[in-house]
Structure 1
């Protein structure tokens, strides 16, 4: 009998409200039944209140909330993200320590860069699975260094080009990863490839709160990871779903959006710092939306209620099937997996297919029970 391992993954987790178990309750059956479940911890879990970031700082969440992540069925949490250093070294080390105390393996964060680059490795379904995690967005304070705690990262540069003779006019924007940081990521993946059967790479990337749009660097960095040996790419950060791309037969989930993301910190009346109050006002002007006042603990784009759980099956020959379970974030901010006979499921699937087409991907979507299978167009498919 062949060994098969199912890896499931979600996007951002923000557990900044009481009773986090309540928010996971509709979905725990999926994580507990998978061989490996991966989620991204978006904010520090610490008792520290020191503000170390010059960006919009996230308040630290209760360390005990990480026990709810483990109880929900998660095995690995990725940590490399823009808020990881928001309460400094203590927050970084606390988040790692409390995650591990809860029984979770961690990737992407450490007391120094060498530790942050170490993968999480575990067994599931008879296969060895390795997970790496990298932050592709700011602030730079979040990045680890040889003697500084923080996140593993891929450094992305932004170039503005004024294509018309109109000073002050809108520029074209180009983004790309620096060769040295890209090479570092690729060397980590190649080294892990020799140790495990499945390599999953999490990338904290993209343009926040903006439907469908991908920055220039996102596909090339994902391609580089797959060329180096990754079997699946797990994207998050934008707090809204992104399209799904297939490259060399491997799935790139460009952004899995929000999963359990509950907080009052970004509500206009709930921010506890001047920077957060300012951001709550500025966000509406930048991204053109205001949070639903009926959902004060969910201060995100209304389209972000469309979300998904990525699910990939592997055997010793590689990827067997890639897809997702469509989910809807209900009025209580709980992500609810939608079965094939749920009338809401078609709307979520249509949304994900639409944003994939908008991004220029020809990915094909096919129902297989409660899972939507994603494949490359027949003309692009290759025999494994």
Structure 2
């Protein structure tokens, strides 16, 4: 029997670094965003935060880490539900900031609040399985995966009498650095002098290198395959591709979801790039996005760089390569662990006197980045499994776009803190937020028109 023909109105929100309860803000301006979330048949967002009480945790799971240790009050989960969010991806590079205890507590608090979550689990099978949401409109499936995590964060399967490892659903990526022949010979010569050259030699170390490839056996990388594979060519380029086993495993989950649900969303978090983070979507991300749609996904939505990227319509399905932030409140994390103070260069002999108000402790906040503080709430219409249209409502989190002037400040210290809640943007800030998506979407042949302060894509 064929599946029913359905029309969906879906709200897609970006990365929620929500560290403070926010349902107290029920004024008219705040409710404009909330009503857009509540008014959809389905509302999705990505949770870039862990939620737990201190008593549920053991210890931080990272050492030298120039990033925030993402942990907030579980009351945030209730407010996310209050805002109208139905389902969230939770696989990201912060999922294991506080180990399996923090990861599992996050999922528990979301589900207790009535928000379904996907992307983490007690083992790889659970982390990779779709989350299902029953709605009056139909059954929804969400697959959540992440790229760029450390090996100890990858969930695994049980074997040899051992349990599988709790963790995230990984989509690993491999990188090949193409060099000119002259540069390749120079690098090999340097590596020989340092005695770190690694080439295909048939050894039991299992380098996985082909005859035309080489890499470095760096001192801190003695017992791993390494990821710095170089190839001689006629130009300079970084090439990335999906790990074949992870790709196949995630495509199997998508196939299951297609057979078991009326709408399939694939969420992909990636914090790595083909070089520095710019505006170019990594090759492996486009590879996965297209493969996900080919396997049966209706929507592919990505995040991880904390700024918006382009939108592509592929085979009648939407691909959003970067949602940007929706909440930006990492400055308000109440309990910051030892490792963070050390990593950010604070005087550890003064540790008892240090506190979360000290600066710096969090990335992305030293210099203004307008893409960090602006994005768009996306309203998506799907009919009969095909994309019809998308609206892009520009949002700001408390700063003007061009200058970075704080318009909504919290606190009275020398280092001004930005409120970080999403409100609908207006004026130049709205124009710049939409103009960025418009410009980057052209790279994928997608036309974004601006109509009455709202971006519109029609198919």
Q: Shift of residue 276 of structure 1?
A: 4.7
Are residues 60 and 328 of structure 1, via their aligned partners in 2, closer, same or farther at CA, if it must alter by over 3 Å? closer
SS of structure 2 residue aligned to 1:134: strand
The answer to whether the 8 A contact 1:144-1:151 is kept is: yes
Q: Which one of 298, 301, 309 corresponds to residue 231 of structure 1?
A: 298
The answer to whether the 8 A contact 1:14-1:261 is kept is: yes
Q: Which one of 28, 50, 53 corresponds to residue 62 of structure 2?
A: 53
- Counterparts of 1:166-315 in structure 2, within 5 Å, are 166=183, 167=186, 172-207=237-272, 210-264=277-331, 273-274=340-341, 276-277=343-344, 290-292=366-368, 301-315=369-383
> Does 1:135 find its partner at 2:182?
no
Give the whole-Å Cα distance in 2 for the aligned partners of 1:63 and 1:93: 12
- Counterparts of 1:325-340 in structure 2, within 5 Å, are 325-330=393-398, 331-332=407-408, 333-338=420-425
The answer to whether the 8 A contact 2:95-2:168 is kept is: yes
The answer to whether the 8 A contact 2:430-2:453 is kept is: no
Give the whole-Å Cα distance in 2 for the aligned partners of 1:163 and 1:310: 43
Structure 2 unaligned spans of 5+: 158-163, 191-234, 347-358, 399-406, 409-419
The answer to whether the 8 A contact 2:175-2:239 is kept is: yes
Deviation readout 1:285-343 (Å, 9 max, x if unpaired)? xx9x8335xxxxxxxx233223011222223443332342222222332222247xx56
Aligned residues: 359
| Alignment root-mean-square deviation, CA | 3.3
Give the whole-Å Cα distance in 2 for the aligned partners of 1:283 and 1:213: 25
Name which one, 1 or 2, has greater alpha-carbon Rg.
Answer: 2
Q: Which one of 94, 113, 118 corresponds to residue 105 of structure 2?
A: 94
The answer to whether the 8 A contact 1:265-1:271 is kept is: no
Q: Shift of residue 14 of structure 1?
A: 1.2
Structure 1 unaligned spans of 5+: 293-300, 377-384
> Does 1:77 find its partner at 2:88?
yes
The answer to whether the 8 A contact 2:59-2:99 is kept is: yes
Are residues 248 and 236 of structure 1, via their aligned partners in 2, closer, same or farther at CA, if it must alter by over 3 Å? same
Which residue does 2:7 correspond to in 1? Answer: 4
